[in-house]
Amino acid sequence: MALDRTALEIVDRREPLDAESYVMPAASAVLRCRSGGVDVELAMGPGVLTGFLAWLEAAPPGRGTGYRQAS
C-alpha cells in the first residue's frame, strides 16, 4: 500500500486494545487514517509516531501546508 501524504487524513488516534498491546511497545498509538476514501489503521511507538507526523507535515515547496486532521 502506498500513502500519498497530500491526501492523507488522520481520522482518529487511540491507545492499543488489550489484545493489541501485547505485541506493541509501551506508549504506542494506533492511528486511523483515510486516503482516497479508504481507512487504514497504523500502529507505532512514540518515536516512529514523531517521525510519521514530521513526514506528513513535510512537503515540497508549493505543495500544501502539512497534514490534515479530520474533524
Q: What is the mean pLDDT of the chain?
A: 85
Question: Would 71 be classed as within a structural domain?
Answer: no
Question: Would 67 be classed as within a structural domain?
Answer: no
C-alpha 14/C-alpha 27 separation (Å) is: 11
Kindly report whether the global pTM for this prediction surpasses the value 0.85: no
What is the residue whose three cell numbers read 511507538? Answer: 45
* 6: containing domain: 1-56
pLDDT value of residue 70: 59
The C-alpha cell that represents 11 in the structure block: 481520522
Question: Would 20 be classed as within a structural domain?
Answer: yes
Instruction: Tell me how many domains the chain contains.
Output: 1
